[in-house]
């Protein structure tokens, strides 16, 4: 705390515990009055009551590199980062925060970007165990949609870099079962064999192109195209990374 003097201390309830803790640590500052309850109610006012920001959704096929593009936009919120989840069956990054912590982080960003147009990824309402608050999610789904387009070979490389090269077969085999019901037993079992064979062959994208392409063509792309048909009237721009960034900065 002494190394980070801007650190704030608050109580889980009313404030007395944090006051005593500050005295013990001789921090020379007052704790946040009202404790966690007051802080939580403050954050809830931003997700439940504050005027809604105008949004732009950044969409695109799985592996388009949307998260990397989003990070280059000034007024954005990285919802996946707050949820510590990429939003797909293979999206877990490990430990996820509590729903309350996620909502508090989201509210903090909304507060900091108050009145500004916010760029977000085109997300599902659930990211692992985390749920985007209904009011915010509805506003996102009604927002204009910008589609990021990349070449198939580039998508494969992006997916390999972001998901595969620092992972292992066990991770994919475990999470593959999450889509078994929709994908079908026969396809799932066949893909599991391909995944194991690819990881046994080595960590070069050439060994993994087959199973990644199958998963995209037969599962993720059809799902995305189906959702896009319902959102076609909201699409306001399509383009590569350079063009999309220029468009977003201009708007």
22 is catalytic: no
DSSP state of 62: T
Which residues of the chain form beta strands (DSSP E)? 55-59, 118-121, 126-127, 130-131, 145-148, 235-239
How many angstroms separate the CA atoms of 175 and 216, rounded? 15
Q: Strands 130-131, 145-148: parallel, antiparallel or unpaired by DSSP? A: unpaired
How many angstroms separate the CA atoms of 121 and 86, rounded? 10
**DSSP state string for 115-173:** TS-EEEE---SEETTEE--HHHHHHHHTS-EEEE---HHHHHHHHIIIIITTS-HHHHH
Query: Is 15:33 a contact under the CB 8 Å cutoff?
Result: yes
Considering 9, 11, 146, 248, which one is annotated as catalytic?
11
Q: Which residues are known to be catalytic?
A: 11
């Amino acid at each position: 705390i002494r190394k980070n003097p801007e650190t704030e201390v608050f109580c889980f309830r009313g404030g007395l515990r944090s006051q005593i803790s500050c005295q013990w640590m001789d921090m020379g500052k007052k704790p946040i009055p009202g404790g966690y309850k007051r802080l939580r109610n403050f954050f809830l006012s931003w997700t439940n009551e504050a005027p809604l920001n105008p949004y732009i959704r950044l969409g695109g096929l799985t592996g388009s590199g949307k998260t990397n593009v989003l990070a280059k936009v000034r007024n954005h919120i990285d919802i996946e980062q707050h949820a510590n989840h990429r939003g797909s069956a293979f999206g877990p990054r490990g430990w996820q925060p509590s729903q309350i912590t996620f909502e508090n982080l989201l509210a903090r960003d909304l507060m900091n970007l108050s009145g500004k147009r916010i760029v977000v990824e085109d997300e599902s309402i659930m990211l692992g165990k985390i749920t985007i608050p209904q009011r915010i999610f509805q506003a996102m789904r009604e927002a204009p949609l910008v589609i990021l387009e990349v070449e198939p070979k580039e998508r494969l490389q992006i997916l390999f870099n972001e998901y595969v090269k620092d992972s292992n077969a066990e991770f994919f085999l475990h999470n593959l079962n999450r889509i078994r019901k929709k994908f079908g037993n026969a396809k799932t079992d066949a893909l599991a064999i391909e995944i194991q064979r690819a990881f046994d062959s080595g960590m070069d994208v050439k060994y993994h192109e087959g199973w990644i392409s199958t998963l995209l063509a037969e599962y993720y792309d059809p799902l995305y195209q189906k959702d896009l048909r319902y959102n076609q009237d909201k699409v306001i721009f399509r383009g590569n990374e350079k063009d999309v960034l220029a468009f977003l900065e201009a708007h």
